[in-house]
């Protein structure tokens, strides 16, 4: 039974909420769900209705005649699913078992509504008798769907038309078996260390672990955490992840180890290789992590360097996949500095079919070598990469808006200048309005509310920021399970 909704499915749910709010209703009922399905153009539900020869406008008018008129000044600011509507959504997920789909589309919502109406689920769709008279029944809709498979046929292309997509645009099982140990003995210093199939397998393993199916291949094993930089998320999530796999961790701070000062990086790597089973290293220079991994005979994870933050980027794209059911064709706009997070994201995005825009002040643009590298990746994978200096223009039609602090660790002396240079580069209501209606807002944290992102956006309906933070735990647990 699928759980992830297509983009059209999510938009239908949002329109259903709008229909309820316009009428001052605090709850989204089945009537509102049906009206929500009738918005848009080339959706699965509308394709089914078209094949049945039904006039969408006539159906809308029929449904609206059954609803009580909206009283003046009664519009509410938010509406939630009623118990009946929740049953309909659950039934839509069950409908995917009948259609053998791994996503929930508008056609599944339509089938669920029709099945609910025929079975008399609590409060049925208003105008149900009229719908039957028009020939809108579950059996007819299911029959049409079995022939045309609408959501798979009518899918928005990048230029606004329609195309028949590859199933790769939807969550599918990876070619690499997603099982514990499938990356046994491997290190992760950069997102480029994993193939696209291995990333998909990692996401599949993450999904399994997050659902409660936790392997215990960490029993009797130890993870060492070498941190030259302070951390909340990386330290806690790696520690908890190792614990859940049945193992333990040991924390080694900057003063305790003294990489390259108290003793050489190579010597520390060789010692730890004889004592522990894996290392997560968080340091300034990427070359330090690279030298450590080259000497060590155990898996080494990059917990953050000045050049990359691969664990963060993987958790980010897992969050996008989880909340948007796809990564291919999405437009991700990073508003902020060329830092370790944006560098990992721009290197990972093309391989998952995501268009990437970096929006920053001109003097903070990536070096030409990075631009050539990522542009080449984008071309090879059929995606777009661009650098913009206008936040409003860059945010136009964005699926994901992402930001990070303006001043990273080690740049504290530049704080005053950066605050001035990045003053226009804040994710706020203006950028949200330029993006798509269901834009997802992400931030790797910690956040400086009121600087790179407005506080009401962090706590608003578009934010997936704390889901991101949670997924750091699950992705790192999957990584540990994969290499041990």
SS3 annotation, 76-92: CCCCEECHHHHHHHHHH
Are 415 and 448 part of one and the same domain?
A: yes
Residues 6+ apart with CB under 8 A from 220: 246, 247
Last residue of a domain, one of 140, 156, 172: 156
Residue 470 lies in a domain: no
Are 250 and 273 part of one and the same domain?
A: yes
Are 15 and 135 part of one and the same domain?
A: yes
| pLDDT tens digits for range 158-184 | 333 333 333 333 344 456 888 999 999
Residue 165 lies in a domain: no
The reply to whether 360 belongs to the active site is no
Tell me the C-alpha distance between 370 and 381, whole Å: 17
Are 346 and 295 part of one and the same domain?
A: no
Tell me the C-alpha distance between 385 and 351, whole Å: 12
We report the CATH number of the domain holding residue 109 as: 1.10.1780.10
The reply to whether 309 belongs to the active site is yes
Are 333 and 348 part of one and the same domain?
A: yes
Are 25 and 52 part of one and the same domain?
A: yes
Residue 256 lies in a domain: yes
Residue 181 lies in a domain: no
Would you state the pLDDT for residue 482? Answer: 97
DSSP for residue 435: S
The structural domain count of the chain equals 3
Across residues 299-309, what is the average pLDDT? 97
* pTM of the shown model: 0.68
Residue 294 lies in a domain: yes
Would you state the pLDDT for residue 176? Answer: 82
We report the CATH number of the domain holding residue 358 as: 3.40.50.1370
Query: Nearest Cα to 459, choosing from 477, 473, 435, 443?
Result: 443
The catalytic residue among 347, 360, 404, 443 is 404
Which secondary structure element, helix H or strand E, spans residue 335, and what is its range?
strand 331-335
Are 422 and 391 part of one and the same domain?
A: yes
Which has the minimum average pLDDT: 190-194, 257-261, 289-293? 257-261
Instruction: List the domain range (segments joined by +) for residue 241.
Output: 216-307
Would you state the pLDDT for residue 444? Answer: 97
The catalytic residue among 311, 359, 360, 444 is 444
Are 60 and 103 part of one and the same domain?
A: yes
The catalytic residue among 17, 312, 426, 468 is 312
Residue 233 lies in a domain: yes
Residue where the block lists tokens 């980010």: 316
| pLDDT tens digits for range 21-66 | 777 788 888 888 888 888 876 688 888 888 888 877 777 777 777 6
Are 236 and 286 part of one and the same domain?
A: yes
Last residue of a domain, one of 273, 290, 307: 307
The reply to whether 472 belongs to the active site is yes
Would you state the pLDDT for residue 140? Answer: 82
Are 319 and 461 part of one and the same domain?
A: yes
Banded pLDDT at 242 (limits 50, 70, 90)? very high
Would you state the pLDDT for residue 305? Answer: 97
Residue pair 424/396 in contact by the 8 Å Cβ criterion: no
The catalytic residue among 39, 115, 244, 282 is 282
| pLDDT tens digits for range 122-155 | 444 555 565 666 677 888 888 877 766 544 333 3
Are 262 and 121 part of one and the same domain?
A: no
Would you state the pLDDT for residue 170? Answer: 35
Banded pLDDT at 19 (limits 50, 70, 90)? confident
Output 63 or 408, whichever has higher pLDDT. 408
Residues 6+ apart with CB under 8 A from 197: 174, 175, 176
Which has the minimum average pLDDT: 258-262, 303-307, 317-321? 258-262
Which strands make up the sheet holding 222-227, listed edge to edge?
248-253, 222-227, 278-282, 300-304
Are 86 and 148 part of one and the same domain?
A: yes
Residue 84 lies in a domain: yes
Last residue of a domain, one of 156, 176, 207: 156
Residue 180 lies in a domain: no
The catalytic residue among 115, 309, 324, 351 is 309
Residue pair 268/292 in contact by the 8 Å Cβ criterion: yes
């Amino acid at each position: 039974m699928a759980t992830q909704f297509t983009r059209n499915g999510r938009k239908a749910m949002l329109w259903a909420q709008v229909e309820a709010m316009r009428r001052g209703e605090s709850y989204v009922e089945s009537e509102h769900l049906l009206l929500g399905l009738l918005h848009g153009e080339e959706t699965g539900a509308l394709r089914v209705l078209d094949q049945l020869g039904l006039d969408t406008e006539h159906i809308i008018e029929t449904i609206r005649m059954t609803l009580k008129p909206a009283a003046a000044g009664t519009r509410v600011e938010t509406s939630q699913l009623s118990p009946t509507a929740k049953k309909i959504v659950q039934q839509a997920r069950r409908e995917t078992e009948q259609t053998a789909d791994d996503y929930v589309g508008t056609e599944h919502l339509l089938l669920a509504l029709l099945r609910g109406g025929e079975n008399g689920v609590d409060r049925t769709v208003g105008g149900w008798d009229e719908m039957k008279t028009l020939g809108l029944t579950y059996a007819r809709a299911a029959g049409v769907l079995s022939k045309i498979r609408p959501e798979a046929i009518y899918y928005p292309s990048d230029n606004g038309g329609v195309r028949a997509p590859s199933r790769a645009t939807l969550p599918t099982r990876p070619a690499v078996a997603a099982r514990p140990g499938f990356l046994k003995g491997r290190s992760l210093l950069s997102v480029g260390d994993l193939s696209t199939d291995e990333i998909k397998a990692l996401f599949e393993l993450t999904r399994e672990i997050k659902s409660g199916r936790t392997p215990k291949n960490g029993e009797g094993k130890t993870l060492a955490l070498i941190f030259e930089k302070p951390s909340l998320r990386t330290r806690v999530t790696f520690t908890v992840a190792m614990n859940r796999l049945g193992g333990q961790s040991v924390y080694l701070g900057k003063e305790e180890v003294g990489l390259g000062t108290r003793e050489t990086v190579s010597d520390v790597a060789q010692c730890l290789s004889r004592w522990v089973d894996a290392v997560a290293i968080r340091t300034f220079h990427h070359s330090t992590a690279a030298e450590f991994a080259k000497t060590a005979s155990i898996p080494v994870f990059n917990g953050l360097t000045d050049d990359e933050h691969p664990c963060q980027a993987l958790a980010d794209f897992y969050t996008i996949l989880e909340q948007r059911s796809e990564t291919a064709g999405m437009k991700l706009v990073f508003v902020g500095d060329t830092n370790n997070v944006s560098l990992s994201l721009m290197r990972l995005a093309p391989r998952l079919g995501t268009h990437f825009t970096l929006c920053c002040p001109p003097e903070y643009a990536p070096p030409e070598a990075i631009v050539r590298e990522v542009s080449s990746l984008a071309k090879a994978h059929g995606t777009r990469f661009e650098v913009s200096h206008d936040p409003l223009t860059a945010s136009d039609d964005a699926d994901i808006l992402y930001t990070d602090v303006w001043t990273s660790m080690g740049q504290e002396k530049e704080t005053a200048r950066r605050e001035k240079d990045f003053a226009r580069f804040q994710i706020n209501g203006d950028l949200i309005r330029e993006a798509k209606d269901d834009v997802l807002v992400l931030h790797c944290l910690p956040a400086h509310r009121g600087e790179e992102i407005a506080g009401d956006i962090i706590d608003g309906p578009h934010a997936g920021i704390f889901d991101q933070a949670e997924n750091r735990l699950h992705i790192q647990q999957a990584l540990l399970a994969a290499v041990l």
